[in-house]
Amino acid sequence: MGNKRIGLYPGTFDPITNGHLDIIKRSLQLVDRLVIGVATNPSKNPMFTLDERVAMVVSEVQEIAVVTKTQIDVVAFDELLMFFAKRVGANFIIRGLRAVADFEYEFQMTGMNYQIDPDIETVFLMADPKYQAIASRLVKEVAIYDGKISAFVPTAVDKAVREKVTLMNRKKS
Ligand code: ADP
């Protein structure tokens, strides 16, 4: 039992989408334990606080963990990804690939990460085509302009985004 495969799926999750959830479900076929790392990422100017993002991920993965009988831990982090990976004992990092646009960035990041820690492998997964176009950034944009986002995010997240947008609008006026 000593050689548990521990995967780390890092991201900003601002907010968690159906695309993220699809990648999470797929990754569970590869790991014995999944750590979802929620990055502080202040430079990305998140819509949700770190605590809010963590809470949304926790509540969305609870049922998946039960159904798949896999341990899923949601952990916030604010350090170099490879240091965090080492600290949680991850054997590999899981990233989702959407379009060509993701590739360039992921290619550079993975190359640098291999130099920082050659023992930790990075694995890329693709979401089901119906979720591939979903991006947190676009979900927020659509919601800000009053568009429907229910096809892209879970119900509770949809509600949280709409509440956040209302709050932002109230502050503006
Ligand atoms: P980051 O700031 O690290 O890009 P995100 O929360 O935007 O954080 O994404 C986390 C990971 O999930 C990234 O690897 C991203 O490519 C992947 N991802 C996000 N949305 C999708 C999707 N619709 N399909 C596949 N992968 C996705």
Residue 138 belongs to a domain: no
Structurally, how many domains does the chain consist of?
Answer: 1
pTM attached to this predicted model:
0.95
- Residue 2 Cα to ligand 1 midpoint, Å, equals 30
Instruction: Judge whether residue 1 has pLDDT over 50.
Output: no
Q: Which pLDDT score, from 0 to 100, does residue 173 have?
A: 78
Residue 152 belongs to a domain: no
Q: Tell me the mean pLDDT in the region 7-24.
A: 98
- Counting residues of the chain whose pLDDT is more than 90, the rounded percentage is 88
Q: Which pLDDT score, from 0 to 100, does residue 2 have?
A: 60
Instruction: Judge whether residue 155 has pLDDT over 80.
Output: yes
| Average pLDDT in the chain | 95
CATH classification at residue 88: 3.40.50.620
Q: Which pLDDT score, from 0 to 100, does residue 157 have?
A: 98
* Cβ(40) – ligand 1 distance below 6 Å: no
Residue 44 belongs to a domain: yes
Q: CA 21, CA 60: separation in Å to the nearest integer?
A: 8
Tokens 């979720």 correspond to what residue?
131
Whether a cis peptide bond, with omega within 30° of 0, leads into 10 is no
Closest CA to ligand 1's atom 16: 96
Tokens 């341990």 correspond to what residue?
71
- Strand locations in 55-111 (E): 71-77, 92-97
Sheet holding 33-39, edge to edge: 71-77, 33-39, 6-11, 92-97, 121-126
Residue 157 belongs to a domain: no
Q: Tell me the mean pLDDT in the region 6-34.
A: 98
* Cβ(154) – ligand 1 distance below 6 Å: no
Full residue range of the structural domain in which residue 46 is found: 6-132
On whether the CB atoms of residues 152 and 144 are closer than 8 A, the answer is no
Residue 59 belongs to a domain: yes
- Cβ neighbours for 151, distance < 8 A, ≥ 6 positions apart: 18
Residue 150 belongs to a domain: no
- Strand locations in the chain (E): 6-11, 33-39, 71-77, 92-97, 121-126
Q: Which pLDDT score, from 0 to 100, does residue 100 have?
A: 84
Across-strand partners of 62?
A: none
- Residue 59 a catalytic site member: no
Residue-wise pLDDT tens digits, 86-137: 999 999 999 999 988 888 999 999 999 999 999 999 999 999 999 999 999 9
Residues composing the chain: 173
- Residue 17 Cα to ligand 1 midpoint, Å, equals 9
Residue 111 belongs to a domain: yes
* Cβ(102) – ligand 1 distance below 6 Å: yes
Residue-wise pLDDT tens digits, 53-93: 999 999 999 999 999 999 999 999 999 999 999 999 999 99
Q: Tell me the mean pLDDT in the region 3-10.
A: 95
Residue 149 belongs to a domain: no
